[in-house]
Chain A
Amino acid sequence: MVAFLLLNFSANAQNFLSKNLRIGLFSSTPLEDIRAVSDNGSAVLVAKSREIAVQLNVKTLEFDRKLMQEHFNENYIESDKYPYAKFKGVIDQPVDFSKDGDYAVTVTGVLSVHGVDKKRTIPGKVTISNGVVQISTEFKVACVDHDIKIPKLVFTKIAEFITIKAEGKLNPLK
C-alpha cells in the first residue's frame, strides 16, 4: 500500500519538457496565404498541478520569403521589443500521466503575444504513450486582441485572425 502510494506519487510528480515544439502560424485571405513555422518552441508540463507553459522566440519563425519575415518582425510582432510569445495555463480536465491514454482537453490560461496578455481557453489534445507526452493544439488569435495593427494598404493580404498550430513531444525530466 505504501509502496503503491509512493509509486503513484513519484509518477504524478513528474515534469515533462520539450525544446523543439513545432509552432506555426497561418494567415489566409482570398489574395494571399501566409505560413511560417519554427521548431524552436519550448514547453514545460508539471503533471501534479496539470500546469503547462509554452514559449516561442518569435524571431525563430521562418517564412518562405525573407523580406516578409523581416516585415513580420519589424512592423507587426516587433520582436526587438517583445521577443517571446508565451502561453501559460492549467489543463481543465484530469489527466493520468502515469498511464498510456488519449485526452481531448482544454487549457485555461494567459496568452502573451506582442506584449499584450489575454486570458484564453484553448482546445488541445494530450496523448501519453510510454511515458512521453504528445501535445497538439490549433486556435485562432485576433491581431486586434494583441494590439497588432494592420495598415489599410495590406488589409487584403493579412488576415484579421491568425491560426496558430503547435505540436510536439514532451519527454519526462529525470
Chain B
Amino acid sequence: MNKIKYLLISFSLFTLHAQAQEADSLLKALDSGAVATTVDAAFKSTHVVLSHSSETQKKHDLDLRIRHHFGDIGGRFGSAHTLYGLDVASDLFIGLDYGVSDRFTVAVGRSKQDELYNFSGKYRLLRQKTNESMPINMTLFAQMGWVAREPLSDSEFAKYSDRFSYFFQSIISRKLSSRLSLQVMPALLIRRAPEDTRDPENLFSVGFAGRMKITKRLSFIADYTVVNGLSRPKDLTQAYYNPFGVGLEIETGGHIFSLNFMNSEYIVENNFIPNTKKSWSKGGVRFGFTISRNFTLFKSKNEDPDKKSKIY
C-alpha cells in the first residue's frame, strides 16, 4: 500500500514538474527564430577624439558641434608663459551634422586654421547584428575641404583648385561588449601641391580607435592614425607626426562633452592627417574639448498612438 502511495505521489510530482517546464520550453521554442536586432551605439557620438566613428546621426536629428584645440602644454610654446597652452587656440571648429536618414548624414563645418570649410557625407553601409549574421559596422565617409584664407606666398594656390582636398575613408567597427568597441579606418586623402614636393598628393592613412565605457555615461576614448611610412617618405625636411588623441567622453542625454588630449593642432581630417607637426614626446600635446548638442528638427509623422512621445 505504501509503495503504491509513493508511486502515486512521485508520479503526480513528475507531472507537476513537467507542467511547470512546459510554458518555459514552449517559449524557448517560440523564440528560437527570434528577430535579429542591430547592435547599436558602438560609440555614443559621431566622433571619437580626432577621427569620425562609425556612428551616424539619427533621422532628422541635427548635431551642433563645437570643438577647440588649445596650444602646446610643454616645449618652446608651452609652459606657464601660455598657461600650458590655454592662452593659445591652435584650432577652433564649429559644425552641423544632419541625419537625412538613419543611415545617411550630411555635414558642414568651418575651422579657424586655414579658414577651412568642410563638406561631408557619411553613409552607414553595414550594421552589426546580434545574431552575428553581420559581425561589423561599416560606414563610408567622404569629405571635401576648401581652404578660404589668403595665400601665404605668391606660389601658393597657383591654381584655385589647389585649395581643395578630398578625403575618403571606410570606417569599420565592432562593439565587442557593452563596454568595449574597436574601430579601424583606412583612408585616402587627395590634395594638391603639398608644402614638400616629395610629400605625395595621394596620402594613405590607417586609423585605429577605441571606446571603453567606465560607467554607463562616461567613457575613455582614443584614436591613433598611422600616416608616416605608408605612402609618405620618412625623410621629409619638415617632420610630421602621427595624430594620437585620448579623451574622456561624458554623455548626458542629448549632450556629449569630451575632454581630450592630443598632439594634433588641427581638427578636421583634411588638415590633421597630413599636417600634424607636434609630437607627444616633445611637449606638443595639447588640451581640447568637444561640445555636441543634438536637436530633433521635425516631429515624427508616426500616427501610432502607442508610440507617440510628447514634450510639454
Residues of chain A having any CB pair with chain B under 8 Å: 15, 17, 19, 22, 24, 30-37, 40, 42-46, 48-49, 51-53, 55, 57, 59-60, 62-68, 70-71, 73-75, 78, 80-81, 83, 88, 151, 153-154, 165, 173
Contacts and interface: CB of A to CB of B under 8 A. Distances in A.
A151 to B, nearest CB: 8
15 contacts: A22-B306, A32-B309, A35-B308, A46-B26, A49-B23, A53-B24, A63-B309, A64-B309, A65-B309, A73-B40, A74-B40, A75-B216, A75-B217, A80-B177, A153-B253
Contacts of A71: 253
A83 B40 CA distance: 13
List 10 A-B pairs, minimum CB-CB distance, nearest first.
Answer: A66-B58, A80-B178, A37-B306, A53-B23, A59-B37, A44-B26, A49-B19, A33-B310, A51-B23, A64-B309
Main secondary structure of the interface of B (DSSP, over half): loop
Interface residues of B, number: 42
Nearest to A67: B58
Contacts of B61: 66-67
Given A42-B31, A67-B294, A32 B24 contact: no
Contact of B22 (A49, A63, A67): A49
A143 to B, nearest CB: 14
A46 B300 contact: no
Given A35-B309, A70-B40, A81-B178, A44 B102 contact: no
Interface of B: 19-20, 22-24, 26-27, 30-31, 34-35, 37, 39-41, 44, 58-59, 61, 102, 130, 177-178, 216-217, 251-254, 294, 296, 300, 302, 304-312
Given A64-B302, A66-B59, A74-B216, A46 B23 contact: yes
A59 B102 contact: no
A88 B23 contact: yes
A148 to B, nearest CB: 11
A165 to B, nearest CB: 8
Contacts of A43: 27
Given A78-B178, A153-B253, A62 B307 contact: yes
A37 B304 CA distance: 9
